[in-house]
Amino acid sequence: MRWSPHVKDTPDSEAAQLYHFDMERIKWLRFFIYLTDVDTNSGPHCFIKGTHRAGAIPKYMLDQGYARQSDEVIYKEFGKAAEVEFTGVRGTIIAEDSKGYHKGKMPNKGDRLLLAFELSASTFGANKRHLIRNVRVPQFLEFSKKYPRLYQNFDFT
């Protein structure tokens, strides 16, 4: 859970209130669920359209690694119009490819509480084979033979 109270007058890098991108895994999808009502003043989640696509972030920015970027730098590179600000009532769900530039906007009035979790390829980086025993569905075995790359880390008996 991420609690963002209105306590500072400048964005806090440690609270992810400056633009950044994530690279934890090869493929993942992150979900944010608002546990409080969120408007433009209470710290909405923001995303820069299109920056999750391959080649969208310029090399000079990628070369900085996980460096946080100010709004000014982001707007200069992508334009203010590319910014999407997600407001919503408690229970609003945002699904995001966080390889793109995103942040939690600094609250200037009110607080924001959200729950964040991600779905990812859990076998990334692992050189491990998985054994699935007693496969009783012939169609599954046919499918695994038809699409061997999908099941390259699995052995069936």
pLDDT in tens, 59-72: 999 898 888 999 99
**Nearest to 111, CA basis, from 22, 44, 66, 54:** 44
Q: State the pLDDT confidence band at 106, using cuts at 50, 70 and 90.
A: confident
In angstroms, the first-to-last Cα distance of the chain is 42
Please state the pTM of the whole predicted model.
Answer: 0.71
Whole-angstrom distance, CA of residue 139 vs CA of residue 142: 5
Read off the pLDDT band of 11 (50, 70, 90). low
For Cα atoms 105, 51, 49, give the angle at the middle one, nearest 5 degrees.
Answer: 60
Q: What's the CA gap between 119 and 122, in Å, rounded? A: 8
Question: Which tokens in the block code for residue 70?
Answer: 């100010």
The answer to whether residues 56 and 136 touch, using CB atoms and an 8 Å cutoff, is: no
Task: Give me the domains of the chain, ranges plus CATH numbers.
Answer: 2-125 (2.60.120.620), 127-157 (no CATH)
Q: Average pLDDT for residues 21-45, to the nearest whole number?
A: 87
Element (H, E) at 72: helix 71-78
Distances in Å between the Cα of 72 and the Cα atoms of 26, 68, 140 are 29, 12, 52
